[in-house]
Amino acid sequence: MRLLLLGGTDFAGRALAEAGLARGWDVTVFHRGEHPAPPGVRVRHGDRTREGGHDALATGEWDAVVDTWSGAPTAVRDAAGLLADRVGRHAFVSSRSVYAWPAAAGLDESGPLAEGDPDADATDFAADKRGSELAVLRAFGPARTLLVRPGMIVGPRENTGRLPWWLARVAGGGEVPAPGPYDTPLQHIDVRDLAAWTLDALEKGLHGPFNLVSRPGLATMGELLDTCVRVTGSSARLRWIPPEEIAAAGLSPWTDLPMWAPPGTDFHAAVHAGDVTRAHATGLRCRPLAETVEDTWAWQRALPDGAVKLADGLDEAARVRLLEG
């Protein structure tokens, strides 16, 4: 397979590049040069935010292209239009955020979608991702378009900083507010499992949208934080805080307490209870959360202090306020 990655050097893009190389594929990455390209790939440079930014893609043919863009749909539109006659299939790494908010528990790929415009500049994440989906569909057509809709992506090189934030916080020791209940279900996907399934899907000629995330409840908030304590070797003490106390403290799920949403709410249904029957029926395999946490900590610990991006999360004042009730 001749694979073109629009991106290919950071988190999901890099996981895709490494997975392609491991299969013996001929991998080309197109990027701005902000991160080093994986050894073994062909490289083309361009800045998609500038006029003429796709010029380096004016020549060449590939069996498949994967685009992980999260900005203005116009960048996806321009690349897809340029490549449609020279690339066999297009996979766009979108998001479950494209569903109209709030997405109901158990929502599958047929659910109502957010508004999106393939010719729009950047607006908000959901609209940008949906507009980008439409841009690819317009250029490649439904039969040659694979829409990958992951939920929460975690794993080594995570650039959203959610799991690294918990690992850093737990590694710091002391009393750690743990958002409860302990058995709150999580839905996630390791970036390496996303990459493996996407490349498999391209080989199989799959098309259309796929929710790409673990089955609901594969892991829980309790398992996540217990594993963080174990792998960091920390003396941290987890204190489980009920959702009503978190709300009373004026704290927000997902932002103040990364990865967490209060069970039984529309928020939790939207981010941790999607239907994934279609992806699992086509071969999606999700590794245990413990393996993801262990590997993320190994990557995080090997980098210099401050080199890992962390989500904002609770500041110290909020932590104390929550613990003191």
Structure tokens at 8: 């290919």
pLDDT, tens digit, 9 for 90 and up, residues 21-57: 999 999 999 999 989 999 999 999 999 999 999 999 9
pLDDT (0 to 100) of residue 305: 87
* Model confidence at 8: pLDDT above 90: no
CB 213 within 8 A of CB 151: yes
C-alpha 18/C-alpha 156 separation (Å) is 13
C-alpha 249/C-alpha 184 separation (Å) is 20
Q: Got the DSSP string for 38-100?
A: PTT-EEEE--TTSTTTTGGGSS--EEEEEE---S-HHHHHHHHHHHTTTEEEEEEE--GGGBP
Domain ranges of the chain: 2-150, 160-185+218-274+288-324
Structure tokens at 233: 């070797």
pLDDT band at 325 (very low <50, low <70, confident <90, very high): confident
Q: Classify 113 as helix, strand or coil.
A: strand
* Model confidence at 217: pLDDT above 90: no
Domains 2-150 and 160-185+218-274+288-324 share a fold: no
Enter the CATH code of domain 160-185+218-274+288-324. 3.90.25
Structure tokens at 92: 């766009």
Q: Is the peptide bond before 216 cis (omega within 30 degrees of 0)?
A: no
pLDDT, tens digit, 9 for 90 and up, residues 245-292: 999 999 999 999 999 999 999 999 999 999 999 999 999 999 999 999
> Considering the domain 2-150, what is its CATH architecture?
3-Layer(aba) Sandwich (3.40)
The mean predicted confidence, pLDDT, of the chain is 97
Mean pLDDT of 153-171: 97
C-alpha 269/C-alpha 171 separation (Å) is 30
Q: Classify 169 as helix, strand or coil.
A: helix
